[in-house]
Amino acid sequence: MCGRYVIISTPEAIRALFGYNEQPNFPPRYNVAPTQPIPVVRLVEGKRSFALMRWGLLPSWVKEPKTFPLLINARGESALDKPAFRNAMRRRRCLIPTDGFYEWQAGTRRRPYFVRRKRGVDGSAPPFAFAGLWETWIGPNGEEVDTAAIITTVANRALASIHERMPVFVSREAFDLWLDCAKVDANTAAALIRPADESLLEAYEISPAVNSVANDSAALIAPLAAAADGVAPPTPNRPQMTAKSKKTKAPDDQATLL
């Protein structure tokens, strides 16, 4: 599953990759957690559009959000059939920009790992995209809340020793195939739900400091040895996101996976 992730590329780099017209400014986020606002890309009147949505999908038919499970992930194997996701799979697919995610290896002591795109020869890597679903929940007083979930699948061999599940990634060439719900039916789009190629990602152990959502700095993605020495990559200066975030507990305390 994916219960925490990172988005640290500049707004300009993300806009260039996803091709939306909006020009949002948002800060680097090293510990994005459920219920917080996350950047989402969807089609609006045939054009790619940027939006902020709450991470944790609420189907439109939910009566009382406080008693409904927090759906941060959707199992790709059952997204076409589960009542919570099937309408979104048909009509409201989205992309969620990312630079990597965290996963915890089970054991006597749960060990956190950072999973990211493999670096190029210059040490850099472009952002990429989770496959996502979104819904607008309308409350009894007419209030509207846009919400989203990340689709997961079985882990590839490179990550299976850390966790049995992983997010689904959509390549740049397949963005339109995933986003265009009017022209591409859900069964066709579902062909993109598969483990990432093993050559795409790399993973390394990091500090347990990531367990607390109060921690949100470049130190979180430093390899464990470097983190112990107090070494971390520099944090770029970026404008602050205007949407307010909400504190949450550790991912296992609140994530529901269907």
How high is the pLDDT of residue 6?
A: 98
Is-catalytic flag, 103? yes
Name 37's bridge partners: 54
The predicted-structure confidence for 86-122, as pLDDT tens digits, reads as follows 999 999 999 999 999 999 998 878 999 999 999 888 8
Which residue matches tokens 């999908």? 57
Q: Which of 2, 94, 135, 181 is catalytic?
A: 2
What's the half-sphere exposure (Cβ side, CA atoms, 13 Å) at 247? 4
Q: What is the mean pLDDT of residues 127-143?
A: 94
The predicted-structure confidence for 170-226, as pLDDT tens digits, reads as follows 999 999 999 999 999 999 999 999 999 999 999 999 999 999 999 999 999 999 976
Which tokens in the block code for residue 72?
A: 């941060």
Rounded Cα distance, 130 and 191, in Å: 15
- Which amino acid is located at 226 in the chain? A
Rounded Cα distance, 172 and 18, in Å: 8
Is-catalytic flag, 2? yes
Q: What is the CATH code of the structural domain delimited by 5-257?
A: 3.90.1680.10
Give the domain ranges of the chain.
5-257
Burial of 247 (0-12, 13-18, 19+ CB in 10 A): exposed
Report the candidate in 173, 86, 171 with the shortest Cα–Cα distance to residue 133.
86
Q: How many residues are there in the chain?
A: 258
Q: Which of 22, 77, 94, 103 is catalytic?
A: 103
How high is the pLDDT of residue 228?
A: 55
Name 96's bridge partners: 130
